[in-house]
Amino acid sequence: MHTRTRRTSLSLLSFALALSLAPLAHATDAQAPDGPRARPDALSLIPAPAHVERLAGAPFKVEASTPVWARGDAATRVARQFSTLLHSSGGPTLQVKNGNGKNGVNFVLNTALKTGAEGYQLRSNGDGVTVAAATEAGLFYGAATLSQLFTGNADGALPALRIDDAPRFSWRGLMLDSARHFQSLDEIKRVLDAMAEQKLNTFHWHLTDDQGWRMEIKRYPKLTAVGSCRIPAGDGGRDPATGAERPYCGFYTQDQIREVIAYAAARHIQVIPEIDVPGHATAAIAAYPELGTLDTPLKPLSEWGVFPNLFNTEETTFTFLENVLEEVIALFPSTYVHVGGDEAVKDQWEASARVQARMREVGAGNEMEMQSHLIKRLETFLEQHDRRLIGWDEILEGGLPPEATVMSWRGTEGGLKAASEGHDVVMSPVTDMYMDYLQTSSDNEPPGRPLVTSLARVYGFEPVPDALAKDKQQHILGLQANMFTEHTRTYARLQHNLFPRLAAVAETGWSPRERRDYADFLARLPHQLQRWQAMGIAYAQTPFQVEQDSRDDRKAGTATLALSTPLGYEIHYSVDGSPVTAQSPRYTAPLTQPLPIALQAATFFNGKALANAASRFDITAASLLTRNDQQLAMCPGEGKLLLRLEDDGPADGERAIFNVNIFNPCWLWKGADVDGIGTLRVRAGQIPYYFQLAHDEPARKFSPARSAHGEMDVLNGTCDGKPLVSVPLPATPGADGFITLEAALPRSLKGPQDLCVRFTGDTRPTMWVVDEVTLQPR
């Protein structure tokens, strides 16, 4: 589709009950605080240090003339990085000098200190500041802390204090998927900068998948010549001027990969490559068909979901994978190489006589054991090259070499099992650590999987399960946020999804468990927002915006507005058109106002607004008769896979967003007041159906079509059974991609009703979606 009229929100309905492609344990916040509350000893630092002691004495104030002292190459490097970070975070630019001195900042590398691999000491009084550590990494993290301290107060004054700090976990990571959507080198470097400022130390780079192979392999040039390009679905894959195919391409040369690795290493971040096997292999098989199990040619996919295409089990394919890993090892100095292992649907292996014969040759009793055979083969190869294998928790199935490390994504159970068996583990459960889930229930959220994984939810995650025996807890290396990018087409959306939640991940990874305090974290967060603004990081606005739910009384000509904000900060508002400031009325209870209403509201902390702009709600008697797809509920029933999907066009620029239950495309207006209503008007459009769901596909429900192109059905109180009224659907939508349908409601229908709108028929490769529904008076 091409155009869509956007609307002012009326009420915001949570879709936290939606199911994901992955199993989800729950969908509620880990904790629901009343709002920010600073600890008595709090400093504006994220992550919170392990030990802080306030001292008596004069503060030290940083100014543009303050010198930064360092002696030796390593300390000087860190001193220069500190000066750069301080300036980019909104502080002054300080000059680095050789030596040590008073009335300035001193960086001291002392290998005799007992600060550990990443720890540091920071001492401050009226004469200056000294940061000391036994390693360059520790000194760097002390520099990151000091930069935050100098930008945590308006006057740049640092109180006299003593900090002794070291991380709780050695693995504090972020996975970035560059296979589904491609990021430029500059964008990746900016992500690495933000990671380093938050003391994250592991960048897991997802470089291969069904939709694209993004890493140059010299021995197999078709991996990028063929496997790095796909044709996006619908209008996005066509040139708007000529209609010709418009491929989506991108890969990193080996020189570019070395550049990223060096950039990360300078910030003490290890880069872990991921080459996914045996599933998520479509792009590789498209490049070299002999790697697959089918004779049918494949192309890199412009669909999302779980696909059946696996690498075959031939010795030549194992050799191919080892040859690829040879070049990976030559590029990446990290100890770990990630081999995926997830979501490998075995249908093709089960149907292949050759794979079954191969299983007998190697002694694999079933397909999971065949996958285990492959994983063990690669683990042995990596071990011979002084590397360690890591994979998603599915690699536990069928047996696992003791040296392998498990990344637990399907909850924490796989990690608990692996650690109990003596494997090292990184916790990254989909329930808490997936950044492609929405931050809030706001209709200003970008496309994604609409389970709400809030900031509180992320912060409340504990990586060490209580059920894990104490003598096995050392196997929990740490935690990792995962940023899959099916729905993250732009860098702006990537920033929205990562920030501020990545700060919560950083604090969980660094700070002692007893130091974590969500209410205090919220009190420290506003200063971090200011640093991100200075750094040019476009963090999500939705957690700091105001949401509202309205209850209307059309007969009285009034509406009652209940305001809320996801993080519990103060809300101030205006209804007279004046700008919202900290001096505007503070919201404390629902507001009943005569129609029309033009309300503005904003969140504040310590007198400062937290969002870039106030939220605005314009409510009229006419607008109360319309609900858009984001304000409608999904119909109840067994089949639920709610997604927040982006339109397929225009080819460039912003696109409309629709909430769709792809298992049961049906929209529900709960409690619609139909007194005096004669017609239900529905604006609907078509978008591509671009999903493969493997064994979940039978859960997709279609109401049978009763005419050539199907119907729009309107039902009452249920989404099954005989409709109140049906309207035939056209073969295609209009030139703008939409149609408007009108359904006459029975005159006998009175009072509040649950009105359900559904579309009949299997229209794939497209699907109908609701844009908005309007009650039209007689």
Provide the pLDDT for residue 228. 98
Domain assignment present for 344: yes
Q: Which residues of 715-750 are buried (b: 16+ CB within 10 A; e: fewer)?
A: bbeebeeebbbbbebeeebeeebbbebebebeeeee
Residues 649, 744, single domain; the answer is: yes
Whether 452 and 569 map to the same domain: the answer is no
**Amino acid at position 240, single letter:** P
Question: Within this chain, do residues 519 and 555 fall inside the same structural domain, yes or no?
Answer: no
Last residue of a domain, one of 125, 142, 165: 165
Instruction: Report the CATH number at residue 61.
Output: 3.30.379.10
- Cα separation, 535 vs 522, in Å, equals 20
User: Are 303 and 402 in the same domain?
Assistant: yes
The confidence band for 372, taking pLDDT boundaries of 50, 70 and 90, is: very high
CB contact at 8 A, 101 and 67 = yes
Q: Which amino acid is at 155?
A: D
**Greatest CA span in the chain, whole angstroms?**
89
What SS3 class is residue 339?
strand
Question: 122: which strand partners?
Answer: 131, 163
Start-to-end CA span in the chain (Å): 31
- Strands (DSSP E) along 674-708, which ranges? 677-688, 691-693
Per-residue pLDDT averaged across 635-662, rounded? Answer: 84
CATH of the domain at 613: 2.60.40
Concatenated DSSP letters of 657-680: EEEEETTS-EEEEEEEE-TTEEEE
**Across residues 268-274, what is the average pLDDT?**
98
Q: Tell me: cis bond preceding 698? Omega within 30 of 0 counts.
A: no
Claim to verify: residue 664 and residue 631 sit in the same structural domain = yes
Same domain assignment for residues 644 and 594:
no
CB of 601 within 8 A of CB of 614? yes
Catalytic-labelled residue, pool 209, 393, 486, 629: 209
**Pair (152, 224) in one structural domain:** no
* Both structure tokens of 496: 């929205």
> Is residue 741 in some structural domain?
yes
CATH of the domain at 448: 3.20.20.80
Q: Which of 469, 502, 537 is the last residue of a domain?
A: 537
pLDDT tens digits for 207-260? 999 999 999 999 999 999 999 999 999 889 999 889 999 999 999 999 999 999
Q: How confident is the model at residue 697 (pLDDT cuts 50, 70, 90)?
A: confident
Helix (H, G, I), strand (E, B) or coil at 162: strand
Residue 12, φ and ψ in degrees, nearest 5:
-115, 115
Is residue 343 part of the annotated active site? The answer reads yes
Percent of the chain with pLDDT over 70: 95
**Secondary structure class of 558 (helix, strand, coil):** strand
At 387, the pLDDT band (50, 70, 90 cuts) reads very high
Relative to beta strand 691-693, strand 304-306 is: parallel
| C-beta separation of 480 from 173 below 8 A | yes
Residue showing tokens 């070291």: 166
C-alpha 278/C-alpha 285 separation (Å) is 11
Per-residue pLDDT, averaged over 465-471, amounts to: 95
Kindly tell me if the per-residue pLDDT of 380 is higher than 70: yes
- Crossing angle (nearest 10°) for helices 491-498 and 501-510: 50
pLDDT at 638: 62
Decide if pLDDT at 775 tops 80: yes
Structure tokens at 521: 């974290």
**Residue 6 pLDDT > 50, yes or no?**
no
* Same-domain status, 141 and 202: no
Q: Which residue has the tokens 């959220």?
A: 445
Which residue type sits at 396?
L
Domain match, 551 and 697 both: no
What is the rounded distance in angstroms from the CA atom of residue 54 to the CA atom of residue 163? 9
Residue 8 within any structural domain of the chain: no
- Residue corresponding to tokens 């030990």: 51
For residue 602, the one-letter residue type is A
Residues 6+ apart with CB under 8 A from 89: 147, 148, 151, 197, 531, 534, 535
* 673 closest CA partner among 747, 752, 748, 749: 752
In which domain, by residue range, is 615 found?
A: 545-619
Residues 160 and 175 reside in one and the same domain: no
Instruction: Please check whether residue 438 lies inside any domain of the structure.
Output: yes
**One of 193, 197, 276, 343 is an active-site residue; which one?**
343
Last residue of a domain, one of 568, 602, 619: 619
Task: Tell me how many domains the chain contains.
Answer: 4
Dihedral-angle region of residue 578 (phi above 0 means left; psi in -120 to 50 means alpha; beta otherwise): beta
What b/e sequence results for 344-361 when a residue is b if at least 16 CB atoms lie within 10 Å of its CB, and e otherwise? bbbebbeebeebbebbee
> 26 catalytic, yes or no?
no
Clarify whether 424 is annotated catalytic: no
Q: Name the phi and psi angles at 227, rounded to 5.
A: -80, -10
Q: CB 502: neighbour CB atoms within 10 A? A: 23
| Model pLDDT, residue 663 | 84
Query: Is position 395 within any domain?
Result: yes
The tens digit of pLDDT for each residue in 488-534 reads 999 999 999 999 999 999 999 999 999 999 999 999 999 999 999 99
**Percent over 90 (pLDDT), the chain:** 81
Average pLDDT for the chain: 92
- Minimum mean pLDDT among 201-210, 221-230, 657-666: which range? 657-666
Q: How many of the other CB atoms lie within 10 Å of CB of 598?
A: 15
Distance of CA 468 to CAs 163, 222, 421, Å?
31, 46, 11
User: In the prediction, which pLDDT does 639 show?
Assistant: 63
pLDDT band at 187 (very low <50, low <70, confident <90, very high): very high
Rg (CA), the chain: 28
Cα angle 716, 722, 723; round to 5: 50
- Determine the Cα angle at 93 with ends 91 and 95, to 5°: 140
Mean pLDDT along residues 175-199:
98
Task: For residue 389, tell me if it sits in a domain.
Answer: yes
CATH number of the domain within which 718 lies:
2.60.120.260
Same domain for 297 and 156: no
Task: Report which DSSP code applies to 451.
Answer: E
| Distance separating alpha carbons of residues 160 and 58, to the nearest angstrom | 6
Please tell me the predicted confidence (pLDDT) of residue 28. 39
As a whole number of angstroms, the distance between CA 94 and CA 112 comes to 28
Q: Looking at per-residue confidence, does 42 or 80 come out higher?
A: 80
Residue 26 has pLDDT above 90, yes or no: no
pLDDT at residue 114 in the model: 97
Q: How confident is the model at residue 29 (pLDDT cuts 50, 70, 90)?
A: very low
**Is 28 domain-assigned?**
no
Q: Give the integer Cα–Cα distance in Å for 630 and 560.
A: 20
Asked if the structure places residue 760 within a domain, the reply is: yes
In this predicted model, which residue has the larger pLDDT, 178 or 234?
178
pLDDT tens digits along 143-163:
999 999 999 877 778 999 999
Query: Do both 194 and 341 map to the same domain?
Result: yes
Helix axes 185-197, 254-266, angle to 10 degrees: 20
**pLDDT-based confidence at 33, cuts 50/70/90?**
low
The arithmetic mean of pLDDT across residues 23-33, rounded, is 41
SS3 755: strand
> What digits encode the pLDDT tens for the residues 87-146?
999 999 999 999 988 889 999 999 999 999 999 999 999 999 999 999 999 999 999 999
Which of 181, 268, 280, 423 is the catalytic position? Answer: 280
